[in-house]
Chains A and B, each alone.
Chain A
Amino acid sequence: MENERTTGPATALIRGQQPGSPCLVMTGTSGYSYLEWVDSGFYPPGTRSAAMLEFYGRSFSVVELNYTWYQMARSDVLTRMLAAAPAHIIFAAKLTRTVTHEREEDWREQVRRYRQGISALGKRLAAILVQLPPDFDRTVSNRRFLAELLDYLQGMPVAVEFRHASWAVDTVFSELERRQITLVSVDEPDLPGLFPRLDVVTNPALFYVRFHGRNSKGWKHGNMQKKFDYDYSEQELHQWCEHELGPLSSRASRGIIFFNNHVRAQAPRNALLLNSLIGRKTARSRR
């Protein structure tokens, strides 16, 4: 059955709990510029990095920019990228590492520079992803830092991804709700200490899901090629659709779902598979 397409490929409108309040769900991948995706056949042979986004846009309508984590968001770089991007694509962008993972004394200045740079995306910015490091636990000083960081990002669409289990408490969720900030739902291995899989929605404007893969063995390896080497089965994604998607989509008007298991182009394959499953689910519920 054909998926209902709205603004572009890999999008679906799901009926919400309230009549007349559908949720637009878009799937995509974390990053798009991977040389091995050429080798794996997702991009045609010989595709150059600068042309990848155009090909990506034939399959997806949303992408998570991860290079803004490696380098400070710069308006000249993003303007060049936008010029080559298909018009229907919207973006989520990771906050730079010098604010989250390698915080420096001048992080406030870095946030200011980031805001300035990322503004080049204009209305095509779906969310700024604040990914916090695994050892960032819920201490008083970390809570203070996060509160101040969110203050500095006020006015921007923000999603927060915790990786330490200590943040999975109601007071955190209610504070995010008060600030209208999205809590990122993660799908990752069942390992002690990791942030649990939750279907909590803290921002009615957006839910945000990241599929990291369930590679328990490779998770602590430190090498991305091992950590994110996982291929979701149709059954796993079907189960997620049946149990997790409903609660998320019923409480938000828009949802973005990213696959981070980039190794051997598993991410785009799984994203397309999930999208077709969502399409089938939508068609079933419409009958």
Chain B
Amino acid sequence: MNQRRFILHLNVADFAVAVERVVDLSLRDRPVIVAPLQASRAAVYDMSEEAYREGVRKGMLLARATRICRSARVLPPRFDLYRKAMGSFVNEARGYSPVLEHGAEDGHLYLDITGTHRLFGTPPDVGWRLHRQIRSKLEIDPIWSLAGNKLVSKIGSRLVKPVGEYIVADGEEQRFLAPLPLHLLPGLSSGERQRLSQFNIGRIGELAALSRMQLDGVFGRRGETLFELSRGIDDSAVRPEEERPPRVVREHIFSDDCADRTVLKGVVGALAAQLGMELRATRRQARRVGLQLGYTDGTTVSRQASVHRGVADDEALGRLALTALERSLTRRTRVRSCRLIGDRLHGRSPQLNLFTDAAAGPKKEQLLAAMDRIRQRFGREAIRMGTHPVLH
């Protein structure tokens, strides 16, 4: 039995711009910047290769970006459109393998095509055909690279960006990586790169020349990871959506961007209540609540709060959500969207607690159960806590 894997990595460079260019042909061959227009300190969300070459970078202040690249056309981001385009992109790939992993709307996907050669032909042929299919149907031109694992295929894509293809033969990983600069290695923090440059190590091969013991001495527990990364070792599986840990997600987008903490707290509390209702309906509990705040300038901040014992009641979930909110509010910029994620889920135990708060326990549960019944019958907003606003 042969255990070798064939992983295709597809990446549409500057995904948002690529999608905008499909919609509006006049945007082709000219610099394009995607950034929220109405924000006072808007940051660049995405830019075309032409704008990149002139010095525009993601996260750069829009005012500075437009000074650097005066001929650029600036467009507001259309996340729904990108999400839809990402869905079509993923659907094309799904025809070649069910083992597929992709991001939200970032134009990246991994496809495990191991064992499909009798059905679809050689792996390079699958890469080429899928690329051709996406190009003709969606009019976007993804980079594709083929290797024996996710790490090396991603580096292959980085190497040929913004367009092209790269094939790394199985067993050739280390020789392929050796001459490449360290910044192409995913998973290496800037601090680690800085530390390595102090040792005069600038190439992946130089890092691979170090032993486990040497790496452990400098980087501690991260030493083992660096040892494997530098050798192109990556056993991580391509994880299809259905195999990823389950989670419950609720999102609210403000019609007017908001900086009022009281309003934000109310919204986060209401999202937590929605999360709780779904958890209770499926008899599950969450041990972690994550909050993603989308700021008006296009940046996103994510923070989490967790507990040892799973919770499903609105009050406990609300407490976790508010902790995550306190941790997320690091900026003075207005907030555009809140995304609350409950994960580390497990089934609710039928076992009753031995030492329950006799006063609050059963009563609180009865109240929540009654509220859930009302919501199920008359709609989500039929009954709510006074501190929670109506979410549309």
Known: A39-B2, A225-B118. A50 touches B170 (CB 8 A): yes
The residue that A225 contacts in the complex, of B117, B128, B132, with Cβ under 8 A, is: B117
Q: Is the Cβ of A67 less than 8 Å from the Cβ of B171? A: no
Q: Does A102 contact B (CB under 8 A)?
A: yes
Q: How many residues of A contact B (CB 8 A)?
A: 28
A205 to chain B, nearest CB (A): 30
Count of chain A to chain B residue pairs whose CB atoms are closer than 8 Å in the complex: 66
Q: Does A71 contact B (CB under 8 A)?
A: yes
Cα-based distance from A71 to B8 in the complex (angstroms): 14
The residue that B167 contacts in the complex, of A46, A71, A84, A262, with Cβ under 8 A, is: A71
Cα-based distance from A71 to B146 in the complex (angstroms): 11
Q: Is the Cβ of B171 less than 8 Å from the Cβ of A49? A: yes
B179 to chain A, nearest CB (A): 7
Interface residues of B in 164-186 (CB under 8 A from A): 164-167, 169-172, 175-176, 179
A268 to chain B, nearest CB (A): 15
Cα-based distance from A2 to B166 in the complex (angstroms): 42
**Contact partners of B128 in chain A: CB under 8 A:** 70, 97
Interface residues of A in 20-67 (CB under 8 A from B): 31, 33-36, 38-39, 45-46, 48-51, 67
Q: Is the Cβ of B166 less than 8 Å from the Cβ of A71? A: yes
**Contact partners of B122 in chain A: CB under 8 A:** 31, 34-35, 224, 262
Cα-based distance from A76 to B169 in the complex (angstroms): 13
Q: Does B247 contact A (CB under 8 A)?
A: no
The CB with the most chain A CB atoms within 10 A, among B6, B121, B164, B169, is that of B169
Q: Does B358 contact A (CB under 8 A)?
A: no
| Majority secondary structure of chain A interface residues (helix, strand, loop or mixed) | helix
**Contact partners of B169 in chain A: CB under 8 A:** 33, 48-50
Q: Is the Cβ of B171 less than 8 Å from the Cβ of A51? A: yes
Q: Is the Cβ of B165 less than 8 Å from the Cβ of A71? A: yes
Q: Scan A62-98; emit 1 where CB is below 8 A from any B CB, else 0.
A: 0000010011100011001001100000000000010
Q: Does A235 contact B (CB under 8 A)?
A: no
The residue that B121 contacts in the complex, of A33, A84, A223, with Cβ under 8 A, is: A223
Cα-based distance from A72 to B124 in the complex (angstroms): 13
Q: Is the Cβ of A48 less than 8 Å from the Cβ of B121? A: no
Q: Scan B104-131; emit 1 where CB is below 8 A from any A CB, else 0.
A: 0000000000000111111111011000
Q: Scan A222-237; emit 1 where CB is below 8 A from any B CB, else 0.
A: 0111000000000000
**Contact partners of A36 in chain B: CB under 8 A:** 117-118
Q: Is the Cβ of B118 less than 8 Å from the Cβ of A67? A: no
Cα-based distance from A225 to B6 in the complex (angstroms): 18
Q: Is the Cβ of B175 less than 8 Å from the Cβ of A38? A: no
Cα-based distance from A51 to B85 in the complex (angstroms): 40
**Contact partners of A39 in chain B: CB under 8 A:** 2
The residue that B132 contacts in the complex, of A38, A51, A80, A102, with Cβ under 8 A, is: A102
Known: A49-B169, A50-B169, A50-B170. A38 touches B2 (CB 8 A): yes
Q: Does B4 contact A (CB under 8 A)?
A: yes
**Contact partners of B123 in chain A: CB under 8 A:** 35
15 contacts between A and B (CB under 8 A): A31-B122, A34-B117, A35-B2, A45-B2, A49-B169, A49-B170, A50-B175, A70-B165, A71-B165, A71-B167, A77-B167, A224-B125, A225-B119, A225-B120, A262-B122
6 nearest A-B pairs in the assembled complex, by CB-CB distance? A50-B171, A48-B171, A49-B169, A224-B121, A49-B170, A50-B172
